[in-house]
Structure 1
Amino acid sequence: MKDNAAPHSPVIIVGGGQAGFSVAKCLSETGISSVIFERHGKFHSWRKNRWDSFCLVTPNWQCRLPGFHYDKEYGGSDPDGFMLKDEITNYLDAFAETFAPDLREHVEVRRVTPRPEGGFRVETSIGEWTCDQVVIATGGYDTPIEPGYAKALDPAILQMHSVDYRNVDQFPEGGVLIVGTGQSGVQLMEDFTRAGRDVHLAVGPAPRSPRRYRGRDATDWLYDAGHYAITIDTHPDPVKAITQTNHYMSGRDGGKEIDLRRWHLDHGVELYGSLADMSGTRAAFLPDLGKNLDDADRSYVGIRTQIDAHIARAGIDAPEEAPFTKVWAPETERTELDLAEAGITSVLWAIGFRPDYRWIEADVFDARGKPRFHRGVTDQPGLHFIGLGWLNTWGSGRFLGIEEDSRYLANRIAAQIAAGAISG
């Protein structure tokens, strides 16, 4: 029985990004209507939460929204290139125009609660709604991570998280300490280096990847080898897959790999180990720079080895490349730095985000607050997630896997509705 005082939708989708729109598109193809609630505007994170020079790290051909692939339905002319921020939003806007979703922008969802009689009560900034099923498509980037000791840093030193970064002009003159070497950290390093700034980089444990190898982009080889088809259920080390930081490389200037050793030699980037503490103008680092560089290179060489094995198995005629060699290694580990003495006037945090699902009242979260599901389907009937990393495959949190995940989830929702699993 539905609450007559509240508007009702068979499915409510929370989040108006590519994941939310993709599920809405697939649901529409099964004849199921839905409402998308987006607290900002559609595709907000792409428009507003990326820096000016942002570009994709994976090639454009991997942009495969449901029925709207970059190099087919969209008619993109550079499948092996890497779209810039405005090009990405143009692609997304064009996808949104292929169907007519019921999108409610600037609506905040404040609480989702299962109803005793079935379905859910959804409290929003425009009032209460009810629905039979809910799809959470908000992603995992709710709360920017900054360590507690950041508060002990001298207030004269500017601090900013990568979510607020747009360009170097936001920063005062002087050097910058960038903390984190995932995909964001190394690309921001390049932004500051191009601007002629002194860059200091706290190197974490993120792995790195080749860009081009043996005549092709490394991601092309890995796709052909079936690497991206591996599911979390069949992965040899699922815990590592889920918890590992993304491999760093760049799509800038047509694509390049990032070897931090070379950036130290060629561009003067000062490298340190993982940041451990701050107080006043002083920063303390762990003595793990050499280990972190070696681990990143081990990942890099491992990917090359996978590609070599695929080439050999398939009997492909591909050009040979010289073995990897280190161009530099730290002689000592610097564990302390006075930022003021080093001319550092700002700190840029690039150490990621935490999800925040406290507004969902359902017993589907682990001790760390992360949702438990299988391919996005939780144990709470009618509650689903989409757009998260390793929902099923490596591509689940990216453009590559969203079509497969959305179609699977839409079919599951359709089956539940047809079976009367949820009574609205």
Structure 2
Amino acid sequence: MTTSPAAAREIDALVIGSGQAGLATSYWLSRAGVDHLLLEQRAQLGGAWQDRWDSFYLNTPNFAFLLPGMTYDGPEPDAFLPRDEVIELFREYARRIDAPVQLGTEVTRVARADGGFAIETNGGSWLARNVVLANGAYQRPRVPPSAANIPAHIIQLHSHDYRNPAQLPDGAVLVVGTGQSGGQITEDLLAAGREVHLSVSACPEAPRRYRGQDTFYWLLEVNLHGPDYGINGLQLAQLPSHAARFMCNPLVSGNDGGHSIRLRDLGRQGVQLHGHYEGTDDGVITFSDDLAARIALTESAFGQRMQVMLDAYIAAAGIKAPGAEPVPAVDWQPSSSGARLDLGAEGITSIIWSTGYGLDFGFLDIAVLDEWNYPRHSRGVTEVPGLYAVGLPWLTKHASSTVAAVGMDAEYVAAHLAAR
């Protein structure tokens, strides 16, 4: 490989990102003897967990902390870790595996060069034979374009920037989106005595526990062992479309020992529920006029697909598990709030957009992304020799981006890279 006039440093592999995907990849690259470096734009280790609000708890139980070379071995495997402990665990993991991380380094361009890659950063240039994209799926907060039409005196935050209710001015709060962030932030606001309006999306509700185990226990089992029993619903090849890679996770929380979040329960507690956010005009928000049907849809989704798959796995694997818990009774109905909400009339002074994230590979000057901005790949090996991806949703299976399963994809990618 030829060194450029700018005296770019040379290395076998650069890993972009030092969250769980980057660190797991580093573990396997070190074991394979590959000279590598992790480039991290943040000033501190801890990945995207540092962007969560103050009261956040990990949604997956402690037993699912399964990074290669370090798993949870504490006294509470079924409990849930608070945000700061999660961050510290990742920092401890980086120390334990002696991960070579360069902090405060933003990658601005990756391009093909001389059989490898030329990488530009705010700290200089590199020439690498291999590059691993491990910057994750939580990089670019998504906010609908119509948010620009919200009156200027209304405070707007994405869930990425929300930390606690004290950030917000007095008055009611509109939370848009009922994925895990939207549901948990709504509960956080309720606990602070705030008046909350909630725009309902299509994310499914799910029981926190199912047939004697945390629901994630069964999901992880199906991810890892389902194919052994012919249960393939959580494998990449079974997705109905590429768009399904970005579908919502079940609406659950790790707070207060772990629990389900149910829209009807929030309604009973005084949250004003609305349909799907459609747009805004002159301080009036428009929602879809289908709230009752939308709530029913979120409630039925688990039973229609996930429950069937988990039951099939339990039966096929011959596992003795108690029967399914009864479905909660439908004992609360939303009032007809209409499809319009006047922010001023309702005293709403702030909006929190819990509307998810988009992938961000804006630095990638290589034609390898599909129409969803997702790298074209096979098991994390992209169609460009030497370019890899780890830690993205549904890279190979449903749990590919989780702490529980990212290490397996990282192992495969590292082995493929080392063989080059």
Pairwise same-fold verdict (TM > 0.5): yes
**8 Å CA contact 1:199, 1:270 repeated in 2:** yes
Quick check: 367-376 or 231-240, which moved more? 231-240
Q: CA deviation at 1:180?
A: 0.4
| Match of residue 111 from structure 1 | 109
Matching of residue 17 in structure 1 with residue 9 in structure 2: no
Aligned counterpart for 2:28 among listed residues 6, 12, 26: 26
Q: CA deviation at 1:331?
A: 5.4
Q: Distance in 2 between matches of 1:264 and 1:192?
A: 14
| Match of residue 420 from structure 1 | none
Report the AA paired with residue 15 of structure 2.
Answer: I
**8 Å CA contact 1:228, 1:393 repeated in 2:** no
Residues 240, 153 of structure 1: alpha-carbon distance in 2 compared, 3 angstrom cutoff = closer
SS at match of 1:97: helix
Residues 140, 215 of structure 1: alpha-carbon distance in 2 compared, 3 angstrom cutoff = closer
SS at match of 1:263: helix
Question: What aligned pairs does 1:270-419 form with structure 2 within 5 A after superposition?
Answer: 270-302=272-304, 303-312=306-315, 314=318, 316-318=320-322, 321-330=325-334, 332=336, 334-416=338-420
Q: Which runs of 5+ in 1 are unaligned?
A: 417-424
Q: Distance in 2 between matches of 1:199 and 1:176?
A: 5
TM-score in terms of structure 1 length: 0.91
Q: CA deviation at 1:227?
A: 7.0
Residues 84, 285 of structure 1: alpha-carbon distance in 2 compared, 3 angstrom cutoff = same
**8 Å CA contact 1:183, 1:248 repeated in 2:** yes
Report the AA paired with residue 256 of structure 2.
Answer: D
Q: CA deviation at 1:235?
A: 1.8
Q: CA deviation at 1:29?
A: 0.2
**8 Å CA contact 1:19, 1:387 repeated in 2:** yes
Aligned residues: 410
**8 Å CA contact 2:15, 2:133 repeated in 1:** yes
Q: CA deviation at 1:123?
A: 0.8
Cα deviation digits, residues 232-272 of structure 1 (max 9, x gap)? 3442535464131111111111110111012101x111100
Q: Distance in 2 between matches of 1:174 and 1:383?
A: 49
SS at match of 2:301: helix
Residues 130, 84 of structure 1: alpha-carbon distance in 2 compared, 3 angstrom cutoff = same
Report the AA paired with residue 9 of structure 1.
Answer: I
SS at match of 1:58: coil
| Match of residue 208 from structure 1 | 205
SS at match of 1:164: coil
Q: Distance in 2 between matches of 1:378 and 1:320?
A: 41
| Match of residue 3 from structure 1 | 3
Residues 301, 227 of structure 1: alpha-carbon distance in 2 compared, 3 angstrom cutoff = farther
**8 Å CA contact 1:46, 1:85 repeated in 2:** no
Q: CA deviation at 1:228?
A: 6.9
Cα RMSD of the aligned pairs, angstroms, is 2.0
Quick check: 220-229 or 46-55, which moved more? 220-229
SS at match of 1:163: coil
**8 Å CA contact 2:46, 2:90 repeated in 1:** no
Q: Distance in 1 between matches of 2:90 and 2:205?
A: 28
Question: What aligned pairs does 1:63-142 form with structure 2 within 5 A after superposition?
Answer: 63-70=65-72, 75-115=73-113, 117-142=114-139
Q: Distance in 1 between matches of 2:139 and 2:332?
A: 38
Report the AA paired with residue 250 of structure 1.
Answer: S
Aligned counterpart for 1:59 among listed residues 58, 61, 70: 61
Cα deviation digits, residues 12-47 of structure 1 (max 9, x gap)? 011121111111110000111101111113434445
Q: Which runs of 5+ in 2 are unaligned?
A: 227-231
Q: Distance in 2 between matches of 1:210 and 1:8?
A: 51
Cα deviation digits, residues 58-102 of structure 1 (max 9, x gap)? 1111111111111xxxx2221111110111012112211122222
Q: CA deviation at 1:320?
A: 5.4
Cα deviation digits, residues 93-124 of structure 1 (max 9, x gap)? 22111222221111111111101x30111111
Q: Distance in 2 between matches of 1:243 and 1:321?
A: 29
Matching of residue 163 in structure 1 with residue 160 in structure 2: yes
Cα deviation digits, residues 191-220 of structure 1 (max 9, x gap)? 000011111000011112110123321222
**8 Å CA contact 1:203, 1:292 repeated in 2:** yes
**8 Å CA contact 1:232, 1:392 repeated in 2:** yes
Matching of residue 49 in structure 1 with residue 46 in structure 2: no
Report the AA paired with residue 213 of structure 1.
Answer: Y
Matching of residue 146 in structure 1 with residue 143 in structure 2: yes
**8 Å CA contact 2:176, 2:351 repeated in 1:** yes
Q: Distance in 2 between matches of 1:236 and 1:145?
A: 23
Cα deviation digits, residues 305-341 of structure 1 (max 9, x gap)? 4444445552625155324432223353610011111
Q: Identity of aligned pairs, percent?
A: 36
**8 Å CA contact 2:142, 2:355 repeated in 1:** yes
Q: Distance in 2 between matches of 1:315 and 1:381?
A: 43
**8 Å CA contact 2:155, 2:350 repeated in 1:** yes
TM-score in terms of structure 2 length: 0.92
Q: Distance in 1 between matches of 2:15 and 2:326?
A: 50
Matching of residue 243 in structure 1 with residue 246 in structure 2: yes
SS at match of 1:201: strand
